[in-house]
Amino acid sequence: VQLQASGGGLVQAGESLTLSCAASGSTFRRNDFGWYRQAPGQTREWVASISSGGDTNYADSVKGRFTISRDNAKKTVSLQMSSLKPDDTAVYYCNVPTTYSPHYVTKPWGRGTQVTVSS
């Protein structure tokens, strides 16, 4: 499966934004997916993941503000972000997590999409 993230932009603190990850390939329905982000000067971190069955998990820093979802028919994975904070500023990526930990991924990283939250 190949992945491409989009939907980033510049928003003010408190606003919302939805990211989309378009996937290609025939294995979409069987894959788990995750969203990750990398802030300037920071290591890339896991944000949220969704299993092939629709189970979701979130990093504590975004729990209650972000929602991950998937559309198997459209082969897309979305990340709805609300109550955005300046600390959410980062390049956001989608990827396929390993089966043993969402902190590790199985695909090469794509270009990601920039999210900038101004205060």
Nearby residues of 41 by Cβ (< 8 Å), 6 or more positions away: none
In 3D space, the residue among 25, 9, 28 whose CA is nearest the CA of residue 17 turns out to be 9
Provide the pairing of β-strand 9-12 with 113-118: parallel
Residue with tokens 């290591």: 43
Nearby residues of 46 by Cβ (< 8 Å), 6 or more positions away: 34, 35, 36, 59, 97, 102, 103
- Check if the beta carbon of residue 90 is closer than 8 Å to that of residue 17: no
**Tens-level pLDDT at each residue, the chain (119 residues):** 889 999 999 999 999 999 999 998 888 999 999 999 999 999 999 999 999 999 999 999 999 999 999 999 999 999 999 999 999 999 999 999 998 999 999 999 999 999 999 99
